[in-house]
């Protein structure tokens, strides 16, 4: 109740979109902090009364979220006019969504449903994933490059994360996660000392869930700014320091030193080669994006099916891995063809990103954390809350508003 009152006070004192964003943050904190207490007192003589009260609280939260979201996405008088507050909101959104997409949405460890651990994880992973995502985007947008270069930079970051920072790619038994060694051996390539399934899941997973999908959603919140830089010089320095600091914390963990000198050297070479490819692709300027494109809902549904296919086929096996690689490759080709034939917009990119994030969030309901003991209620409440955050971010991104019309007028 006190958090709701604080949110109401913030909404009254801090006007505009920034105030609405602060209200959403406070409400999110309230929801996360309430996980352990949600089932308390629902049995016994007071069960019915407490259940009714909790229902009323949920309704109040829904009204507060709706009001704050409307304020955040209230259009400016001129959609093409620079909006510093709007950019700040998008930056914060990327930081949060990268942390959620990379780690919290999957709900695979013992922080699941733990309010204090989740709060720390949100901040830490925002630095580890959100900060480099913003830096890569900043380089691409300042140079006038497009998504191909951005995806290659994300691939370099994903390779660096899995092979050079946490070095999970080379770990035989990482952090005590249940089943790690068994599943690794199903697609082990002895000559390289890595699992093919892990290579696909880690690198491709980082590209999509840790970086690309969150960026796509945040850009679609204000498509008229999708090609603009977001960070000031101070912001660039802060993002770089956050990334280096969190990466250093991971490297300080002895369990992050599993790669051999040769594996680390080869991985470093791969990262450099992928960055070089991003620079070369960026210099070969593509034609401007055309307005129009396939139906956004079709992009969302197709991407959701493609994202679910590898999990349903079991990517820990060679057959499932083949399904994942073929399905992802086919989707990439289909997007390139659709963009050239009918056009592509930030909303289409957001729909594709949302499809992947929804698939990860839905699959998280099908398993329990791989380490620690998490109560079922806390686990499913966590899954639900993370999925709701993704759905809200996706709904805002896919909303047809003045910014979309401004983008179409600018590109058409």
Domain chopping of the chain, boundaries: 1-74, 75-411
Task: Say whether 368 sits in a helix, a strand or coil.
Answer: coil
Strands annotated E in 143-300: 188-189, 194-195
Backbone φ, ψ for residue 68 (5° rounding): -65, -40
pLDDT at 270 over 70: yes
Place of tokens 């900060």: 131
User: Which residues on neighbouring strands pair with residue 194, listed in sequence order?
Assistant: 189
Q: Contact at 8 Å (CB) between 324 and 377?
A: no
**pLDDT reported for residue 283:** 78
What would the pLDDT profile of 113-143 be if each residue is shown by its tens digit?
A: 888 899 999 999 999 999 999 999 999 999 9
Q: How far does the chain reach from its first CA to its final CA, in angstroms?
A: 49
Of 33-47, 235-249, 271-285, highest mean pLDDT: 235-249
Cβ neighbours of residue 121 closer than 8 Å, sequence gap 6 or more:
99, 103, 104, 111
| 265: confidence class by pLDDT, cuts 50, 70, 90 | very high
Report if pTM > 0.85. no
- Residue whose tokens read 């057959």: 319
Asked if the model's pLDDT at residue 2 lies above 50, the reply is no
Give the whole-angstrom CA distance, residue 324 versus residue 329. 8
Q: What percent of the chain has pLDDT over 70?
A: 75
Q: Is 338 left (phi over 0), alpha (psi -120 to 50) or beta?
A: alpha
Least confident of 8-12, 91-95, 149-153, 222-226: 8-12
Mean pLDDT of 318-327: 91
Where would I find the beta strands (DSSP E) of 16-142? none
- The region of weakest confidence among 35-49, 83-97, 261-275, 329-343 is 35-49
The more confidently predicted of residues 5 and 251 is 251
> What's the mean pLDDT in 82-98?
86
The pLDDT score that the predictor gives to residue 401 is 59
Mean pLDDT of 193-210: 95
Q: How confident is the model at residue 180 (pLDDT cuts 50, 70, 90)?
A: confident
Q: What is the mean pLDDT of the chain?
A: 83
pLDDT surpassing 80 at residue 289: no
Averaged pLDDT for residues 224-239: 94
The pLDDT of residue 93 is: 95
- C-alpha count within 13 angstroms, C-beta hemisphere, residue 373: 0
pLDDT at 379: 93
pLDDT at 7: 53
Q: Shortest CA distance to 166 belongs to which of 213, 136, 203?
A: 203
Percent over 90 (pLDDT), the chain: 58
Residue 13 has pLDDT above 60, yes or no: no
Euclidean distance between CA atoms 156 and 214, whole angstroms: 17
Q: What is the mean pLDDT of residues 326-343?
A: 91
């Amino acid at each position: 109740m006190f958090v709701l009152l604080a949110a109401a006070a913030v909404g009254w004192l801090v006007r505009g979109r920034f105030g609405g964003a602060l209200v959403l943050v406070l409400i999110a904190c309230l929801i996360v902090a309430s996980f352990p207490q949600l089932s308390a007192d629902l049995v016994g003589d007071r069960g019915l009364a407490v259940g009714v009260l909790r229902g009323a609280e949920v309704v109040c939260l829904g009204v507060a979220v709706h009001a704050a979201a409307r304020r955040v996405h209230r259009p400016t008088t001129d959609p093409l006019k620079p909006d510093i507050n709007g950019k700040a909101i998008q930056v914060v959104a990327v930081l949060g969504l990268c942390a959620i997409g990379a780690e919290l949405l999957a709900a695979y460890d013992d922080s699941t449903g733990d309010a204090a651990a989740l709060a720390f994880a949100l901040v830490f992973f925002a630095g580890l994933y959100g900060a480099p995502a913003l830096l890569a985007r900043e380089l691409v947008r300042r140079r006038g490059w497009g998504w191909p270069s951005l995806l290659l930079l994300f691939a370099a970051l994903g390779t660096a994360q899995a092979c050079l920072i946490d070095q999970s790619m080379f770990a035989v038994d990482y952090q005590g996660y249940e089943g790690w060694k068994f599943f690794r051996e199903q697609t082990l390539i002895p000559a390289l000392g890595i699992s093919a399934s892990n290579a696909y899941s880690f690198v491709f997973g980082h590209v999509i869930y840790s970086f690309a999908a969150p960026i796509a959603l945040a850009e679609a919140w204000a498509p008229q700014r999708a090609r603009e830089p977001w960070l000031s010089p101070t912001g660039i320095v802060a993002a770089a320091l956050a990334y280096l600091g969190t990466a250093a914390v991971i490297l300080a963990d002895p369990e992050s030193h599993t790669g051999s000198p040769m594996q680390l050297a080869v991985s470093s070479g791969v990262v450099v080669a992928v960055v070089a490819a991003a620079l070369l692709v960026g210099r070969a300027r593509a034609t401007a994006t055309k307005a129009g494109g396939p139906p956004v809902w079709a992009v969302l549904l197709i991407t959701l099916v493609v994202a679910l296919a590898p999990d349903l086929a079991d990517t820990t096996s060679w057959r499932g891995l083949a399904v994942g690689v073929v399905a992802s490759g086919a989707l990439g080709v289909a997007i390139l063809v659709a963009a050239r034939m009918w056009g592509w917009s930030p909303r289409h990119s957001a729909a594709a990103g949302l499809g992947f994030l929804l698939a990860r969030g839905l699959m998280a309901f099908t398993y329990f954390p791989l380490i620690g003991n998490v109560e079922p209620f806390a686990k499913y409440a966590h899954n639900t809350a993370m999925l709701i955050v993704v759905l809200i971010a996706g709904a805002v991104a896919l909303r047809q508003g003045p910014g979309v019309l401004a983008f179409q007028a600018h590109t058409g």
